[in-house]
Every structure is written in C-alpha cells, then in structure tokens.
Amino acid sequence: MTLTTYNRVPVPSFMYGTAWKKEATAHLVQLAVESGFTAVDTANQLIHYQEALVGEALQSLEKKGVKRETLFLQTKFTSVDGQGGRPPYDPSADLSTQVRQSFDSSLTHLHTHYLDSYVLHAPLSRRGLGEEDWEVWSAMEELYRSGKVKMIGVSNITAGQLDLLCEQAKVKPMVVQNRCFAALAWDKQVREICQAHGIIYQGFSLLTANREVIAHPEIRTIAQRVGAGPAQVIFRFAMQIGMLPLTGTTSQQHIKEDLQAEQLTLSSEEVHQIEMIAV
Ligand SMILES: NC(=O)c1ccc[n+]([C@@H]2O[C@H](COP(=O)([O-])OP(=O)(O)OC[C@H]3O[C@@H](n4cnc5c(N)ncnc54)[C@H](OP(=O)(O)O)[C@@H]3O)[C@@H](O)[C@H]2O)c1
C-alpha cells in the first residue's frame, strides 16, 4: 500500500524507525527490510540514531540485490540544541550552511545520492516560527529545488506552527512527523491541517505514548475479534484514520507482527470505539 503527497510522491504506508537501536541498528534495519519494510526513518543525530549504521545495512542489502530505488529513505536535520554536543556540521556556520552540511553528511552515511524525504527534526521556536526557523526552512526548500530530495517535512510541530508554515512557506511541507497521543485525539488538530493540504502525517511512539489505551479492555476485545495483538490493532487503527505509523520494534517477532497489521480490517464502529477510549 502507498500514500501520496500533494506533490505526487508515493510513500509506503508503514515505516521502520531506527531510534535508540545503537549498535544493533544495522542488523535490525536489514531484518526489517528483509521482512518486508520498504521505508526507513533515521536522523543525523548521534545521541539517538546511528545513521551510518543504517547506511551499513543498506550496503549489505544492496549486495543481496535490494536496490536503492526500491527503498524509501527518510532522515532529519537536527539543530545544535538537539545534537548533544556532536553535530555533523560546523556549529559556528550560518543555519543554511548547517542544513547543507548535515544533508551532505547524511548522503555519505546512507551511501546514496538522493533522499526520499528530508525532515526538520523540530522548529527552533517553541511557539510560532522565528527568523531562524525560516532560515532553516529556506535551506530545506533549496534542497528540494535541487532535486536531491523528493519531499521535505517537519517534525515535532504544533498546529499553530504548521498553519503558519503552510500559509507562508514557498514550498509547503509534504510530511509531518509527530509523537501521537491518544489523549490529544491522536493529534487530530495537526492531522486535519495535514489532510487539508495533502501532507502525509506520520505518527510515532504510537505504542509507547499510549500504554493505557493499549491495555484497555476494548482494545483487547477488538484484538481478539481480528485475531491479532493490541499493538497490531493500534497500527491498523492509525492506518485506517489516514496516518502513516512508525514502529520502533527491536524484535524479529514484532517486526513480522507489525507488518501483518496491514492485512487487518477494523470496522468503522471499532475505529470509532478506539477514538473514544482516551476522550
Ligand atoms: N521525530 C522525532 O522526534 C522522533 C522521536 C521519537 C521517535 N521517532 C521515530 O519513530 C520511531 C518509533 O518510535 P518508538 O520506538 O517510540 O515507537 P513505538 O513503536 O511506539 O515503540 C517501540 C516499543 O514498542 C514495542 N513494540 C513494537 N511492536 C510491538 C508489538 N507488535 N508487540 C508488542 N510491543 C511492540 C517495542 O518493543 P520490542 O522492541 O520488544 O518490539 C518497543 O518497546 C523511532 O524509531 C524513530 O524513527 C521520531
């Protein structure tokens, strides 16, 4: 299954996330792709991700016949504040240069000459968008225009910030990636803006941010009916409400189970039931 952005780039409907995998990153990325994932999310941010080890996995996969063009690679630009003191660029350079240097370093890590998606890890401003955010976004737009990346996006963004970006950017984001809390109606406000603009909404930490929902008896009942586990129900629910979920599993069994979520069907009543659990 694929989703399509407003600029008509097809995007796989489920993504494998590589945060916090440390030295197991290469092995797990290989396993995920060999099991059926075609989209991989990472970031050029050493405190949480090992982008170079994602690249190592891609090289091994290529040797086994998995071609670059069959994969969807997404990585991120992280500002100095989020880099834990080890930025992959000159921190004293201007922001546009930092974005370009980080991007080039990602291409090197991932052994590729293009990216499918490049995401701003988070706006620099807590509220609204400041001058620095616009400078970073212009650099992202420039990368998009260069043809080295097929889509650009933003993560950890509020509805207010996304509204501003959509209104004022020369190139609107094609993807938004947010932590998705059931208690915020599964980030409904942001998802609605995405839907209105043809932006793909990627939800992360669907399991870890919603433990009480996953343990809820109604989820267990639905899981029993469809013959699956609660995690699979949550991933399928996310897909049915138009979201592209990420999974961060480190287990071979869960990689298989998570992929099977694509084959499930929840009734509209069940989808509504899940939407109402955390309200
Ligand atoms: N943009 C950002 O700021 C940002 C921040 C955080 C994350 N992300 C991205 O989102 C990805 C996913 O994040 P996440 O790791 O928080 O997501 P997650 O999938 O909600 O959480 C992973 C946890 O769920 C468990 N799990 C997965 N499938 C399961 C299953 N079928 N049954 C039972 N447990 C299951 C995993 O355990 P096992 O390992 O035992 O399977 C692991 O403990 C990250 O890797 C990263 O790429 C982005």
Q: Is 203 in the pocket of ligand 1 (CB under 6 A)?
A: no
Q: Report how far residue 270's alpha carbon sits from residue 216's, in angstroms, rounded to the nearest whole number.
A: 13
Rounded to the nearest angstrom, the distance between the alpha carbon of 90 and the centre of ligand 1 is 31
- How far, in Å, is the centroid of ligand 1 from the Cα of 249? 5
In whole angstroms, what is the distance from residue 128 CA to residue 221 CA?
42
Average pLDDT, the chain: 97
Rounded to the nearest 10°, the torsion over CA 25, 31, 36, 41 is 0
Ligand 1 within 6 A of CB of 254: yes
> What pLDDT is recorded for position 209?
97
* pLDDT exceeds 90 at position 237: yes
Mean pLDDT of 261-277: 97
Q: How confident is the model at residue 1 (pLDDT cuts 50, 70, 90)?
A: confident
From CA 173, how far away is CA 182, in angstroms rounded?
24
| Per-residue confidence (pLDDT) for residue 156, from 0 to 100 | 98
Sign of torsion, CA 96 99 103 105? positive
DSSP for 105-126? HHHHHHT-S-EEEEEESS-SSS
Instruction: Tell which residue, 219, 212, 223, 208, has the closest CA to residue 257.
Output: 223
Query: Does any ligand 1 atom lie closer than 6 A to the CB of residue 16?
Result: no
To test the pocket of ligand 1, the residue of 247, 250, 253, 262 to mutate (highest count of ligand atoms within 8 Å of its CB) is: 247
Phi then psi for residue 84, to 5 deg, are 55, 30
Check if 139 has its Cβ closer than 6 Å to any atom of ligand 1.
no
Percent of the chain topping pLDDT 70: 100
Ligand 1 site, residue 51, Cβ cutoff 6 A: no
